[in-house]
Amino acid sequence: YLLWRGARAATSGVPGRWQAAVEMLFELVDNQAKSVIRNEQSRRFVGPLALVAFIWIFLMNFMDMIPVDTVPQIWATVGPMMGFKDYMRILPTADLSTTLGLSTLVLILCIYYNIKIKGLGGWGHELISAPFGNHPVLWPANFLMQMIEFVAKTVSHGMRLFGNMFAGELVFMLIALMGGAWALSATGIGMAVGHVIAGTIWTLFHILVIVLQAFIFMMLTLIYIGQAHDAH
């Protein structure tokens, strides 16, 4: 919220690099929020929420840039001293509980805005009257389809982020194994060269994936909450 307000306030003088970057990010999210959510009062909360989601997920994704074994090796020493014995994985978004937790929060917000904008009765009527039409015979089918839609959107929202980041983490591990295989055998210099080349190429490509996945999660958050404002 402070980042959101700070970007709005920083309109005078020549901006520095940090201020310019914050303003560009703010304008990007603000424009996307305006294009999806017409309700200005809702945007006062949803806009900062989308900005925080983008930055938070980007930072969690960026932890994949830390060498694979660095933090786990530190944790292997520090963890048992603190009473923990579990192996530590560095990438939060490669854990399904993290991504589904975030998508479930978006689902809760969608339900909240459905009730706030349409009223409990209006949303309840929508649940049984769309998408097939408002006829008593079709009410059960409409309600079932609505429930399937909510569940499918929530699961796909979390699974998309998890799947891409988990796959990226696996590729980094496979590339690390190339270097490990060369170090253990002390033969086959091609493995060492391939390790460096593949690691560099995948790192550069994965930076794009990190940013893109954070942006997609943010956009889907805006779209799903925006759909909660629309009447069927």
Amino acid letter, 16: G
For the entire predicted model, the pTM comes to 0.84
pLDDT at 208: 93
Which of 42, 103, 156, 185 is flagged as catalytic? 156
Q: Determine the Cα angle at 61 with ends 59 and 64, to 5°.
A: 115
Amino acid letter, 229: H
Q: Is 227 exposed, middle or buried (0-12, 13-18, 19+ CB in 10 A)?
A: middle
Contacts of 141 (CB under 8 A, 6+ apart): 132
pLDDT at 135: 85
Query: CA–CA separation, 53 vs 68, rounded Å?
Result: 25
Output the CA–CA distances (angstroms, integers) from residue 67 to 95, 100, 168, 175, 182, in the order listed.
18, 26, 13, 11, 17
Check if 156 is active-site: yes
Check if 17 is active-site: no
pLDDT at 172: 84
Sign of CA dihedral 193, 197, 203, 209: negative
pLDDT at 9: 54
Gyration radius of the chain's alpha carbons: 23
Q: Low-confidence residues of the chain, pLDDT below 70? A: 1-15, 179-190, 231-232
pLDDT in tens, 94-149: 999 999 999 999 999 999 999 999 999 999 999 998 888 888 899 999 999 999 99
Half-sphere exposure of 149 (CA within 13 A, CB side): 14
Query: CA–CA separation, 230 vs 86, rounded Å?
Result: 46
Which of 61, 134, 160, 185 is flagged as catalytic? 160
pLDDT at 26: 86
Runs of H (alpha helix) within the chain: 2-9, 17-36, 40-62, 70-81, 96-129, 139-185, 189-228
Contacts of 99 (CB under 8 A, 6+ apart): 93, 158, 159, 161, 162, 165
pLDDT at 136: 87
Check if 160 is active-site: yes
Which of 38, 61, 164, 185 is flagged as catalytic? 164
Query: CA–CA separation, 54 vs 50, rounded Å?
Result: 6
Q: Determine the Cα angle at 137 with ends 135 and 139, to 5°.
A: 70
Contacts of 223 (CB under 8 A, 6+ apart): 36
